[in-house]
Amino acid sequence: MYHFSRAIYRELAPYVLEERPTVQREPNRVLVLRECENAIERLMTDGRYFARPARTLFNDVRPYFSIADLPRVYVTIERNVQMAQRFLEMVPDYAFDSQGVPRRCQAMTRKARPCQRQPLPGSDYCPSHQHLTETFEELELVELAA
């Protein structure tokens, strides 16, 4: 996923404004790179709850560009985020997080400790906690009943 964040940054770097407020410690380029990396990492680790990653990233980096460059910035972000999402769809049972650490089940054990088992492909839960998975059909039935 590192490649996706760096691709966004490489395309946007020539358009980043050089000026920065006096209270800002880091240069604008460093902040844009950090925002790109954070957005792609969140897309990978928490994609289910990251509704509009391209719009979020655009809103985070927008202050570092001139108004004339904003359409180009949005198109670049949108295109690269879509490629990252397609990549993640092709590899649904991605076994490692962005730091290379094996994924763990999201459930808690009876002793209030995180479960240490690896989740099933396409799920956030291991076989022992698979009953905690909510499907869209179950959610729709609950909404219809209410």
Given a cut of 60, is residue 127 above it in pLDDT?
yes
Same domain, 19 and 79: yes
Given a cut of 90, is residue 62 above it in pLDDT?
yes
2-49: per-residue pLDDT in tens?
A: 789 999 999 999 999 988 777 778 889 999 999 999 999 888 877 778
In a domain, 127, yes or no: yes
Same domain, 81 and 123: no
Q: What is the dihedral of CA 110, 113, 116, 120, to 10 degrees?
A: 60
In a domain, 19, yes or no: yes
Helices 70-90, 53-61: axis angle to 10 degrees equals 140
**pTM as predicted:** 0.64
**pLDDT at site 49:** 81
Same domain, 22 and 48: yes
In a domain, 95, yes or no: no
- Catalogue the E-assigned strands of 5-143: none
**pLDDT at site 120:** 79
Domain span at 126? 104-146
Dist CA 128 CA 29 (whole Å): 46
Same domain, 21 and 74: yes
Same domain, 27 and 61: yes
Same domain, 21 and 82: yes
**pLDDT at site 97:** 61
In a domain, 97, yes or no: no
Given a cut of 70, is residue 144 above it in pLDDT?
no
